[in-house]
């Protein structure tokens, strides 16, 4: 089975790359990975050429416009990548009979729920980013191509830019850190998400995959403030520098360009039942991420 990964240099893209190229990767998978330079999703001719050359059975799209606040002032750029380019990609997948595995976000929801969102819940994005991702999802569903849309949330890892790394930096720079305590979610270790995506491939290869929308995220719900506490507690055990004080803020006290959902926790139940993969263990993910960052620092 030929698998191509788009967005290889993002945090999820790097995790997919590591796991798909590892000796313990599922057998029978031939992988090609593409950076933005090698396959720019907004260059429709380049996308078509890539398909014509590689004739993929499966395309994993880990590329996206992910700058949530910046999207508010760059709506056309965000829409181009998260919606128009995804619509084109789905169309080309249909033409080449390739399966599209696409990653979406918890920010397609309005956040008014008091329980983790299930896949059938109504969407209601609050931000430009969330809206463009929702329109990308809709375009895939409408295209008729075989697809898995996997919504995830609060992704962190040793790669790229993410909340955990921001907290570590602030912990080095400041004695006092303030974090929002009234936004709830389900943090997801990107390596767990990559593993979950890879676990769908044998079902796809056997042509017995139930297509549609799934959620894959952390198994327990916390606030950003609680997440920061967990990160600093784990960092302390590794002798990493942490702030003396962490205080809780309300969303009103920490205005951002893009509004955030109050509770965007996702339920992974359907994914677990369908593919036999447990929700992300973000607690363990924090430990693993810190261990990898410590190793990287020791090597420098
Ligand atoms: N991060 C989160 O907390 C989060 C939460 C929920 C869902 N998600 C979704 O999860 C997926 C992966 O997110 P991530 O955190 O891994 O994102 P990321 O680290 O920002 O990576 C996005 C990747 O997309 C690439 N890209 C940008 N424009 C492109 C273009 N025109 N053509 C091809 N590639 C392009 C970027 O390339 P460069 O490296 O060249 O910039 C980058 O490698 C995305 O769909 C995102 O919406 C993320």
The pLDDT of residue 76 is above 80:
yes
Residue 160: pLDDT over 80: yes
Return the residue whose CA atom lies nearest to atom 42 of ligand 1: 10
Q: How much distance in Å is there from the Cα of 151 to the middle of ligand 1? A: 13
**Ligand 1: centre distance to CA 9 (Å):** 8
What confidence score (pLDDT) does residue 296 get?
83
- The reported pLDDT for the residue numbered 295 is 86
Using the structure block, give the residue that is written with the tokens 């990964």: 5
Lowest mean pLDDT: which of 22-26, 64-68, 248-252? Answer: 22-26
Q: Strand runs (DSSP E) across 12-95, as ranges?
A: 30-34, 58-61
The mean pLDDT value for 197-225 works out to 96
Distance 102 CA to ligand 1 centre (A): 11
DSSP 58-107: EEEE------TTGGGT-HHHHHIIIIIHHHHHHHHHHHHTPEEEEEEEGG
| Cβ < 6 A, ligand 1 pocket | 6-7, 9-13, 35-36, 40-42, 62-64, 66, 81, 103, 105-106, 133, 152-155, 160
* Cβ–Cβ under 8 Å, residues 97 and 2: no
CA 10 – ligand 1 centroid, Å: 5
Cα gap 285→288, rounded to integer Å: 5
Give the predicted TM-score (pTM) of the model: 0.98
Q: Which atom of ligand 1 is nearest to the CA of 41?
A: 32
pLDDT tens column, 288-297: 999 999 988 8
Domains of the chain by start residue, with CATH? 2-162+187-220+265-280 (3.40.50.720)
Site to probe by mutation for ligand 1, drawn from 5, 6, 7, 14 as the one with most ligand atoms within 8 Å of Cβ, is 7
Q: How far apart are CA 296 and CA 78, in angstroms?
A: 33
16, 33, 155: residue to mutate for ligand 1 pocket, most atoms within 8 A of CB: 155
- Average per-residue pLDDT for the chain: 97
> Residue 69 and residue 56: Cα distance in Å, rounded?
34
At 162-197, the pLDDT tens digits run 999 999 999 999 999 999 999 999 999 999 999 999
Express each pLDDT in 112-142 by its tens digit.
999 999 999 999 999 999 999 999 999 999 9
Contact between residue 221 and residue 280 where contact means Cβ atoms under 8 Å apart: no
Catalytic residues, by residue number, are 129
């Amino acid at each position: 089975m030929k698998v191509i990964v788009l967005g290889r240099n993002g945090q999820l893209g790097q995790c997919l790359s590591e796991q798909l190229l590892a000796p313990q990767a599922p057998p029978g998978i031939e992988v090609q990975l593409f950076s933005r330079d090698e396959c720019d999703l907004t260059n429709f001719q380049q996308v078509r050429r890539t398909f014509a050359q590689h004739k993929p059975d499966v395309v994993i799209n880990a590329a996206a416009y992910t700058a949530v606040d910046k999207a508010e002032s760059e709506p056309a750029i965000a829409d181009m990548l998260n919606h128009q380019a995804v619509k084109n990609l789905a169309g080309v997948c249909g033409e080449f009979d390739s399966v599209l595995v696409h990653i979406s976000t918890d920010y397609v929801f309005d956040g008014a729920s008091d329980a983790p969102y299930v896949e059938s819940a109504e969407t209601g994005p609050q931000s430009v980013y969330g809206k463009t991702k929702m329109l990308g999802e809709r375009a895939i569903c409408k295209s008729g191509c075989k697809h898995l849309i996997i919504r995830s949330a609060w992704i962190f890892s040793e790669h790229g830019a993410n909340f955990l790394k921001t907290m570590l930096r602030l912990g080095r720079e400041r004695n006092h850190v303030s974090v929002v305590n009234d936004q709830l979610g389900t943090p997801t270790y990107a390596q767990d998400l990559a593993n979950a995506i890879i676990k769908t491939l044998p079902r796809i290869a056997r042509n017995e995959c139930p297509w549609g929308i799934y959620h894959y995220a952390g198994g327990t719900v916390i606030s950003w403030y609680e997440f920061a506490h967990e990160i600093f507690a784990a960092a302390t055990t590794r002798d990493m520098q942490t702030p003396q004080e962490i205080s809780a803020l309300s969303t009103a006290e920490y205005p951002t360009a893009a509004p955030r959902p109050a509770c965007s926790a996702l339920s992974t139940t359907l994914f677990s039942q369908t593919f036999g993969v447990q929700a992300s263990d973000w607690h363990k993910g924090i430990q693993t991420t810190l261990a990898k960052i410590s190793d990287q620092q020791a090597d420098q």
